[in-house]
A and B are shown apart, each in its own frame.
Chain A
Amino acid sequence: MNVTANDAILLTHATVGVLGTVSALWVFVETLNVREQNLQRIRRAALAVAIFMVAAWIFGGYWYLHFYPAERAMILKGPWPFAHNVFMETKEHLFLITLILSFYLPIAARDQLLSSAAARRMVLCVAGLIALSGLALEGSGAVIEHGVKVALLRPSGAEIRK
């Protein structure tokens, strides 16, 4: 087995991204059923979303700056250049919006969720946006990695591998 730093950082990025997305869904469901007993759990889960997304930012950012340029070159020479030109370009900027929403979620969850319907709606909307954008980001990651794969596997990939 030969797991490089490149592999470990990329997979950690994807893993914490999924954990952040699932935590946002957790906040959403708990908020639908908010009561005194689960209020602290909602706030802790909202904080977990922020922590996981910051981790995804750090690992993903490091990988993007240090390891992605080589993969980008392969993608652009392969049959799926849109994997970079559309999906990576969108992903790297969309992620920053998800990150800001993840910073905001714990603040929104500190509001009076038991007594304010508006505060509950805000948490539901923000958690929902994080979950949906998180899924879009994970899907984009899959397209980008497939862009590398098809570049290497197609007959012209022999040229790229040199």
Chain B
Amino acid sequence: MSADSSRLGRTNAAFGMAAAITALFNTALAWAKDTYKPLTNLMDAIAGHNWTTQALADVMLFVGLGLILSNTAKVQAIRPERLIFFLVGSVVVAGVGLFAWYAVF
């Protein structure tokens, strides 16, 4: 482990950012469909069930965003500590946000 670098690879950074954004999107979409019934109906119609549509939307967002960000150097320019903090923070906020939402409403 000599010559320790403090950088993340471009693909790693891009998909890390995509994962963080997808986690937040997933929770926001869960809240939205819980409060706006027409959205649930639309998502039911798209893939047979709103949960299936949400899963497919998450995967497409993660892959699409990851591929797009991989073609730019912008995310790699972010300090790795900040990106890691953003990913962990996003997942914690998204997870706690889901539990709190369903516990309260």
Chain A interface residue number, banded: 35 or more
Contacts A82-B103, A90-B98, A118-B8 known; list 13 others, CB within 8 Å: A34-B1, A57-B55, A64-B51, A85-B102, A86-B99, A93-B26, A93-B30, A104-B15, A107-B66, A117-B5, A119-B8, A119-B12, A122-B80
Given the interface contacts A100-B58, A121-B80, does A111 sit within 8 Å of B30 by beta carbon? Answer: no
Please measure, in the bound complex, the distance between the C-alpha atom of A96 and the C-alpha atom of B91, giving whole angstroms: 11
| In-complex Cβ contact of A116 among B5, B22, B49, B59 (8 A) | B5
Please measure, in the bound complex, the distance between the C-alpha atom of A86 and the C-alpha atom of B100, giving whole angstroms: 9
Please measure, in the bound complex, the distance between the C-alpha atom of A7 and the C-alpha atom of B1, giving whole angstroms: 48
Question: Chain B: residues with CB nearer than 8 A to chain A?
Answer: 1-9, 11-12, 15-16, 18-19, 22-23, 26-27, 30, 48-49, 51-52, 54-55, 58-59, 62-63, 66, 80-81, 83-84, 87-88, 91, 94-95, 98-99, 102-103
Given the interface contacts A97-B23, A112-B9, does A104 sit within 8 Å of B58 by beta carbon? Answer: no
Q: Which of A10-37 contact B (CB under 8 A)?
A: 34-35
Please measure, in the bound complex, the distance between the C-alpha atom of A101 and the C-alpha atom of B87, giving whole angstroms: 10
Question: Chain A: residues with CB nearer than 8 A to chain B?
Answer: 34-35, 57, 61, 64-65, 82, 85-86, 89-90, 92-94, 96-97, 99-101, 103-104, 107-108, 110-112, 114-119, 121-122, 125-126, 129, 133, 136
Given the interface contacts A61-B51, A118-B7, A118-B8, does A35 sit within 8 Å of B1 by beta carbon? Answer: yes
Is B87 in contact with A126, judged by CB distance below 8 angstroms?
Answer: yes
Is B51 in contact with A92, judged by CB distance below 8 angstroms?
Answer: yes
Is B8 in contact with A86, judged by CB distance below 8 angstroms?
Answer: no
Please measure, in the bound complex, the distance between the C-alpha atom of A114 and the C-alpha atom of B1, giving whole angstroms: 5
Chain A neighbourhood of B49, CB < 8 A: 65
Given the interface contacts A100-B62, A116-B5, A116-B6, does A122 sit within 8 Å of B103 by beta carbon? Answer: no
